Chains A and B, each alone.
Chain A
Amino acid sequence: MNKRRPVSARRAGAIEPELFSWPFTDGRGEVAEPSPPPPRRARAPDIEAPPGTTPESAVPVSALAEMAKAVFDGAFMPVWIRGEITDFKAHRNGHWYFCLRDAAAQLRCVVWSRDQRSIPAPPDEGMQVVALGQLSFYAARGDVRLTVRQMDAEGDGLWRKAMERTRARLDADGLLAVSRKRALPAFPRRIAVITSPDGAALRDIVAVARRRCALVEIVVVAARVQGDGAIDELCDALERVARWGDADVVIIGRGGGGREDLWAFNDERLARAVAACPIPTISAVGHEIDTTICDLVADVRAATPSAAAECAVPMMEDLRAAIAMASARLGDAMVGRIEWARRSMTDSRDRLRAGVEGALDGGTVRMRHAAARLNDLSPLSTLARGYAAARDERGETLASVNGFVPGQPFQLLLRDGLVDATTNRVHPGGVPGSDGSRVA
């Protein structure tokens, strides 16, 4: 459909020289060119007249249109024009058709599907745009049309629109949710850096990482970050890091650049690859003012590659402090545990002592009491008052005269000793008045 011949080829075309010269006449029908000379017009009709100069030499529409195209297309360089979009149609053949107009004029425009890659998003109706296009004559319709190859709306409108569309799709899938954001590890061991191996971003990240902490290893995963193939390489790199699985954090990014340079980081496929990365991600694209779709999807957005390294790499001092703190806590915990053991031991001892003493004290009181009672009841106290007790050979107390048989030996128990004695005579019934029963 679109003949992309070089302008010079189109200019020369296959147009015959005399045809080419023909249209340059003034409004009165006079040939503006010095040739052909006027006498030729006076010739008879059967003599060959220049095409189109007589009814007999009329040229076909297509010949004139072709001629117009050759003149027209050669007369204009590609130009940037400014205007408002109307009648926009994204045809199902893949091409976009619309008009660009201002207060006084309008032009039909087309964007071939293959040129749409360089335009971030289709324009909206009524949008003020600037478009780079080649004005050409479209013979089949007999009209003039602008073949647009680049376009943007005022204030980066189309780029913003493209980003918004991508963002909305990701948001609909929940990929921008704050709840998805993972925390970065406090003490990462290995940090994968997906970026250009020659770029300023890598240099900055390595410099910051070295300054902060020598413990962290930087693993470079090389990928093109702009131009053709950048998106593929960035997605591949993310997948490779995931397959490798031995990094604690991934930084993906690049240094500053123009909007087109950063555009890969607004790609939906890359955004989805970042979201799918099983390792926490930091996005660091361009400068502080640049926010990309990749930034929105990553777990952490760093303003610059240096800032990404600051986020990811702990300070050596922090590591030392962490050790010191852990050490102090461990010591405190152990001291606490020992203190607790000591306290519970003391407690046990005290309780044991109290128990024993209590038992002892109680025993003493009871023993004294019992001893006193025992003393009261003891025959010894009676003996002490001058009485004696008689016992037989077996030690049984002889409390009755019935226990005595004349001639039977017995013992007398006195306050201060024993006396062996023998029964002489027994007097039952009453205490003898004299010393009859009193034993000598």
Chain B
Amino acid sequence: MTFESRLARLEEIVGELEGDDVALARALKLFEEGVECLRAASVELAKAEAQVRSLVERTDGSFDLPEFRGRGA
């Protein structure tokens, strides 16, 4: 899950929690999931390190992302 999709999921959770008809048990479950999303997003931020890669297309049409080694890096 990407940072953005985690934030999007959090939005959904908050939206549902703010709604009128969510049962308390469901609310607690959603809250737990939200907390987990937040935790994962924070972890992702903490471990991030800038990477520059090259897009290389193999002959079979698949793609490879080796570390970029050029003057621009």
Contact = CB atoms under 8 A, between A and B. Distances in A.
Q: How large is the interface on B (under 10, 10 to 19, 20 to 34, 35 or more residues)?
A: 35 or more
B17 A336 contact: yes
A322 B50 contact: no
Given A197-B72, A210-B50, A214-B50, A244 B55 contact: yes
Contacts of A278: none
Interface in B1-42: 2-4, 7, 10-11, 13-14, 17-18, 22, 24, 27, 31, 34-35, 37-38, 41-42
Given A189-B4, A197-B70, A219-B65, A337 B49 contact: no
A323 B41 contact: yes
Nearest to B34: A330
Interface in A305-350: 316, 319-320, 322-323, 326-327, 329-330, 333-334, 336-338, 341
B30 to A, nearest CB: 8
Contacts of B13: 330, 333
Interface string A236-250: 000011011010100
A217 B53 contact: yes
A341 B38 CA distance: 25
Interface of A: 185-189, 192, 197-199, 202-203, 205-206, 209-210, 213-222, 240-241, 243-244, 246, 248, 316, 319-320, 322-323, 326-327, 329-330, 333-334, 336-338, 341
Contacts of A326: 7, 10-11, 14, 34, 37-38, 41
B45 A187 contact: no
10 contacts: A189-B4, A198-B71, A203-B72, A210-B50, A213-B48, A213-B50, A215-B48, A323-B41, A330-B35, A334-B34
